[in-house]
Amino acid sequence: MRIIEMYHNRPFVFSIEVFPPKTEDGMVNLQKKLRAFAVFKPDYISVTYGAGGGTRQNTQQLAGFIGNELGIEVLAHLTCVSHTRKDVILLKEQFLSEGVENIMALRGDPPTTEKKFEPMPGGYRYASELIEDLSRDRRFGIGAAGYPETHIDAISSQMDRYFLKQKIERGAEFVISQFFLENQKFLNWRDQLYREGVRIPMIPGLICAQSSSQIQRFAKMCGCMVPSELIKNLERFEGNAEDSLKVGLDHAEKQLNGLIREGITGVHLYALNRSEVVNALGPTMVGLKSRTDLRSSLENDGRLGF
């Protein structure tokens, strides 16, 4: 099923993002966790695509497992890193053979050995080029990434939105946001894009901080702000993984409740393969999925936007 149909027809769409483990044992372990995640009836699960090496094969294997064994729709990520256009022709067939119908089309980050993203000769420089190719093919639903706090390489927030709109014009059907820790960042960005004519689903990406050092490292990589209050609360428990996670979960729950009040109709949970995160937020998501009033109240006051 195309993911865009879910956003059009379901009251609330709950999606989970996982990354493919590097080892066979890691894969077995994650598959066990995914079976448990199924209890919360995620509408789809997305699987990230690594910067290179073995985990790329694992994206396909994991995507196949989620779709074929768990019967959950899957969104397979695909990046431009180290791929030529010819590679993508082959990769598309491989994804289709695993039953993958939806692709999150990304430029990708450079491998750690390289400072800057450089396209392959005969490859793609920007995600919009990959999106254009996938869209022409017509066999995939297409998602794209968006940045409420502006992508780190962008010339300006205005130009970043301009290029996001280009991805939409070229065929992206829905946008999943980078994580943010202050709702207002997402809401301002979403509303600005709405004013600029964007009418496709803009889905907030929600993360749960696990420690002060972890979240500050992630935030630095993506150019996101971490509220000082959150850092302070996490620092009280530095070195105590369990209590740090509780602080992170509490923050994520507050963010989720605030977003619901602002009329979101879906959440993408950056689960980082952590059962604790899915177990803590999953029940709220299940409740939201059955709340038909969410959609009708938004339709009534014209805020649905698509």
Q: Note whether 77 binds ligand FAD by CB under 6 A.
A: yes
Number of neighbouring beta carbons within 10 Å of residue 305 = 16
Strands 102-106 and 141-146: parallel
How many binding residues for ligand FAD (CB under 6 A)? 24
Q: For residue 175, what is the enclosing H or E element?
A: strand 174-179
- Of the residues 17, 73, 149, 173, only one is catalytic, namely 17
Catalytic (active site) residue 17 = yes
Residue 109 and residue 81 in contact, taking contact as beta carbons nearer than 8 Å: yes
163 touches ligand FAD (CB under 6 A): yes
Q: Please tell me whether residue 141 binds ligand FAD under the rule CB under 6 A.
A: no
Residue 171 contacts ligand FAD per CB under 6 A: no
239 vs 144: CA distance, rounded Å: 36
- For ligand FAD, the closer of residues 12 and 270 by Cβ is 270
Residues 203-242: x/- map of binding to ligand FAD (CB under 6 A)?
A: --x-------------------------------------
Considering the complex, state which of residue 110 and residue 258 has its C-beta at the smaller distance from ligand FAD: 110
At 74, phi and psi to the nearest 5?
-125, 145
Piece of the chain touching ligand FAD by CB under 6 A; list 5-13, 88-96, 155-163, 246-254: 155-163
Bridge partners (DSSP) of residue 207 are 270
DSSP run (H or E) holding 35: helix 24-37
Which span sits near ligand FAD by CB under 6 A: 27-35, 84-92, 158-166, 226-234?
A: 158-166
Rounded distance, CA 87 to CA 92, Å? 9
Residue 123 vs 247, nearer CB to ligand FAD: 123
Rounded Cα gap, residues 103 and 107, in angstroms: 13
Per CB under 6 A, contacts with ligand FAD among 44-73 are 48-49, 51
Q: What is the DSSP string of 247-267?
A: HHHHHHHHHHHHHHHTT--EE
- Cα 139–126–163 angle (5° rounding)? 95
Q: Contact between 109 and ligand FAD (CB under 6 A)?
A: yes
**Torsion, Cα of 1, 65, 146, 188 (10° steps):** 80
The residue (of 190 and 247) whose beta carbon lies closer to ligand FAD is 190
Q: Does residue number 79 form part of the binding site for ligand FAD (CB under 6 A)? A: yes
Instruction: Return the range that interacts with ligand FAD (CB under 6 A); candidates 26-34, 95-103, 149-157, 190-198.
Output: 149-157
273 binds ligand FAD (CB under 6 A): no
Q: What one-letter code names the amino acid at 69?
A: E
Any alpha helices (H) in 138-240, and if so which ranges? 157-169, 183-195, 212-222, 228-235
**Between 128 and 273, CB nearer to ligand FAD:** 128
Catalytic residues: 17
Q: Can you give the binding site for ligand FAD, defined by CB under 6 A?
A: 48-49, 51, 77, 79, 104, 106-109, 126-128, 145, 151, 153-154, 159-160, 163, 167, 176, 178, 205
